Chain A
C-alpha cells in the first residue's frame, strides 16, 4: 500500500494529521481519553482558560435543535493558576500536540494569560478566543470589532513566539476583514468558525430553553455557513485556516479542506461519538488512497470555481 502523508503545517506548528479536537468540547482531555487514543490525533485545543476561574452560566445551558445544539456554557473554567497546576501535568502526558485556548475580558488579560503560558513547554500554540457569544464581558465584544482583533493579536504576538491562532466569529458581516486584521497583527492562522448566535423557546411556558436566552449554535446545522466563511477567507486573505463547524464525518473534513482549511477541528461530534476523530482520520487515509493523493495538504484550497 502507498504511504499517505497526512501531516500539515500551520505556521511553525507541525501536526501529524489535520484533525484537531475543538476547544470547549473535550475539556482538558482526561474524560475523552477513555474513549479515544489521543496520541493518534493532530492535536487538542483545550477548554478556554481565563486569568481567574469562571463559574459559567446557570442551568439550563444547552438544548437540542434540528441537526445541532445550542449552548451557553459561559466559559466555565478553572482559571490560569489551577490550569497550570492540575491540568498541564495530565496534558503533558497525553502524547498529543497541545493548543491552549485563551479567553479574556480585557486585552491585558489575553496578554497576561499568553505570557504566563508561554513558559509551559507542553503548550505548542495558542488559540485566542475573541468570539465567545455567551459571555457579557469579553468574547464577541472583541470579536465584533476589527480594530480590537488587530490590537489583541499584536499584543499577544509581542509576548510569545509560539504560533497564534485567532478564533473568529461568524456573527459578523465580513469575516475576511477580521482574518486580514489577524494576519496584519501577526497571527499564524485563524480558526473559523465559532458558534452562531441562536435561541429556542418552549411554546407552552413561553420561556427560553436556555437560561442565557441566546446560545451558540453548533453541529451539522451550521456546516454550510462555516464552509462559506472558510471559503471567503481562503479567497481573500493569505493565512492558514483551521476549519470548524459541524464536522461529523471524514467527508465533511475533506469538504472543509477543499474550501481552504489546512486543518479542521471536531467539536460537537465528540459529544455523540467520542471516537469520531480516529474514524475520520481513517476515512481521510482511504480518501487519499482512493483519489491518488499522496499528501493531504494538497487538498487545501483545491476548490475549482
Chain B
C-alpha cells in the first residue's frame, strides 16, 4: 500500500447518479487485487475532512477506476473532477476476494452500488469460469450493469426482472448450479449481506462478502471500522482484516 498522487483521466456519468472516475496511477494499478479499495482525499480542504474509501472497480493500462453513487459532499466533489486534476490516493488497501480455489461457477451477487468491485474480479477470473451476475436494485434505474457478465436482475418494485430482492432471486435460481463447484462473491448494503450470509451458511455455500463501514484512515490505525467476529472475542477491522470476509466469519 502506498500514498500516491493520481492524475484524473475522466469522470463519466454512466447512468443517472452513477459515476465512473478513472485515475492514472501505475503503481496502484499494478498492485491492486479484486475487492481491495483505495482511500481518496477528494480535495485539499478541511471539508469534507476525512478521506473517502472506494472499491477499485477496474484496471486498464495503468488506470484505476472507481464507481460511485452521488450521495454527499465527497462524491459531489469527485463527480466534478476534470482531466488532469490531481487526487491523493492511499491504496490498494485491505484484503480482497479469494478467487484462487477450485470452483467452476463464480456467482456474483450485487445490490445497487455493490456492483462496484466486480468488473475487476470478472477480469481476473480464469476464463474457464462460468460467471453469473445477480444484481438487484430498488427500481430499474438503480440497476448497475457496468462491465458485468451474464446478468440476471431483480427489482424491489418489479420494474425489471425478478420482482423481489436479489437474495430471493438467488435462492430461486441457485439450484441450477452444483453446490460444490460454486463460489459466491457478494457486495451490497448490510441488510442484503445479512440475508445472503444466513442463506449461504444454512445451505452450505462457499460465500465471500465485501463489507462497508465508515472509516477514517483505511489502514488500521484509527480502529474506527470494527466489525464483530464470529471466531474471536476481538473485533475485526473492515479496512485491514476485510473488507472481504468469508460470510461465516463476521456478524453483520
- Interface residues of A, Cβ cutoff 8 Å to B: 24-27, 31-32, 34-35, 53, 55-56, 58-69, 71, 73, 76, 219-220, 248, 268, 270-272, 274-275
Residues of B within 8 A of A62 (CB): 214-216, 222, 224-225
Q: CA of A53 to CA of B234 in the docked complex: distance in angstroms?
A: 9
Q: How far is the CA of A172 from the CA of B235 in the complex (A)?
A: 32
- B80-119 CB contacts (< 8 Å) to partner A: 90
Report whether A58 and B226 are in contact in the complex, using a CB–CB cutoff of 8 Å.
yes
Residues of B within 8 A of A271 (CB): 50-51, 216-217, 221-222
In the complex, what residue of chain B is closest to A74 when comparing beta carbons? B223
Q: Tell me the complex Cα distance, A31–B216, Å.
A: 14
Residues of B within 8 A of A (CB): 1, 3, 41, 46-51, 90, 213-217, 219-228, 233-235, 240
Evaluate contact between A61 and B224: CB separation under 8 angstroms.
Answer: yes
Q: Which residues of B contact A24 (CB under 8 A)?
A: 223
B interface SS class:
loop
Asked if residues A34 and B1 are in contact (CB atoms below 8 Å), the reply is yes
Taking A56-B226, A62-B216, A219-B49 as known contacts, 12 extra A-B pairs with beta carbons closer than 8 A to each other, sorted by chain A number, are A27-B221, A55-B235, A60-B213, A61-B224, A62-B222, A62-B224, A65-B49, A71-B216, A248-B46, A271-B51, A271-B216, A272-B217
What is the bound-complex CA distance between A65 and B213, given in angstroms? 16
Chain A residues with Cβ below 8 Å from B228 are 58-59
Q: A35-B3, A60-B214 are in contact. Are A272 and B223 (CB under 8 A)?
A: no
Nearest CB of A to B33, in Å: 17
Smallest CB gap from A26: residue in B = B221
Report how far A248 CA is from B46 CA in the complex, Å. 10
Question: Would A274 and B90 be within 8 Å (CB), given that A63-B214, A76-B235 are in contact?
Answer: yes
With both chains docked as a complex, state the minimum distance between the C-beta of B6 and any C-beta of chain A, in angstroms.
16
Q: Which of A27, A60, A73, A220 is close to B46, meaning CB atoms less than 8 Å apart?
A: A220
Q: Are B224 and A66 in contact (CB under 8 A)?
A: no
Is B222 a contact of A55 with CB atoms below 8 Å?
no
Which A residues lie within 8 Å of B233 (CB)? 55
Nearest CB on A from B194, distance (A): 14
Closest to A71 in B: B224
7 A-B residue pairs with Cβ-Cβ distance under 8 Å, sorted by A, are A59-B235, A60-B213, A60-B214, A61-B225, A68-B49, A69-B216, A219-B49
Residues in A neighbouring B222, C-beta threshold 8 A: 25, 62, 71, 73, 271
A-B contact count (CB 8 A): 95
Q: How far is the CA of A35 from the CA of B3 in the complex (A)?
A: 7
- A31 and B49: CB pair below 8 A? no
A-chain residues with CB within 8 Å of residue B50 when the two chains form the complex: 64, 69, 271-272
| Least CB distance, A177 to chain B, in whole angstroms | 32
For A61, the closest partner residue in chain B by CB is B224
Alpha-carbon distance between A108 and B9 when the two chains are bound, in angstroms = 59
Are B223 and A31 in contact (CB-based, < 8 A)?
Answer: no
A27 to B220, CA, bound (A): 8
Residues on the B chain within 8 Å of A66, using CB: 47, 49
Please name all residues of chain B whose beta carbon is closer than 8 Å to the beta carbon of A56 when the two chains form the complex: 223, 226, 235
Knowing A34-B1, A69-B216 touch, does A59 contact B225 (C-beta < 8 A)? yes
- Contact B48–A64 (Cβ < 8 Å): yes
Residues of chain B within 8 A (CB-CB) of A31 are: 219-221, 240
In the assembled complex, the Cα of A67 lies from the Cα of B50 at a distance in Å of 9
Q: With CB as the reference atom, state the residue of chain A lying closest to B46.
A: A67
Task: Kindly list chain B residues whose C-beta atoms are within 8 Å of the C-beta of A64.
Answer: 48-50, 214
Task: Please tell me if the beta carbons of A59 and B227 are within 8 angstroms of each other in the complex.
Answer: yes
Contacting pair B221 A270 (CB below 8 A):
yes
Q: With A and B bound together, what is the CA distance between A58 and B234 in angstroms? A: 10
* B contact residues around A35 at 8 Å (CB): 3, 90, 219
**Minimal Cβ-Cβ distance residue in B for A47:** B223
Q: B49 near A61 (CB under 8 angstroms)?
A: no
B221 near A73 with CB under 8 A, answer no
Q: B1 → chain A, closest Cβ, in Å?
A: 6
Taking the nearest CB of chain B, how far is it from the CB of A262, in angstroms?
Answer: 25
Nearest residue in A to B73 (C-beta to C-beta)?
A64
Q: What are the residues of chain B within 8 A of A270 when measuring CB–CB?
A: 217, 221
A66–B50 CA distance with the chains assembled, in angstroms = 10
Q: In the assembled complex, how far is the CB of residue B78 from the closest CB belonging to chain A, in whole angstroms?
A: 16
Closest to A75 in B: B223
Contact (Cβ within 8 A) B49 A67: yes
| Partner of A61 from B48, B217, B219, B223 at Cβ < 8 Å | B223
Q: How far is the CA of A52 from the CA of B214 in the complex (A)?
A: 28
**How far is A25 from B228 in the complex, measured between Cα atoms in Å?**
21
Residue of B3, B48, B49, B226 near A274 (CB, 8 A) is: B3
Contacts of B226 in A (CB 8 A): 56, 58-59, 61, 76
Bound complex: CA of A55 vs CA of B50, how far in Å? 25
CB closest chain-A residue, reference B220: A31
Chain B residues contacting A67 (CB-CB under 8 Å) are 46-47, 49
| Beta-carbon contact of B221 and A32 below 8 Å | yes
Residue of A nearest to B51 (CB): A272
Give the CA-CA distance A34 to B46 in the complex, in Å. 24
A64 to B1: give the CA distance in the assembly, Å.
24
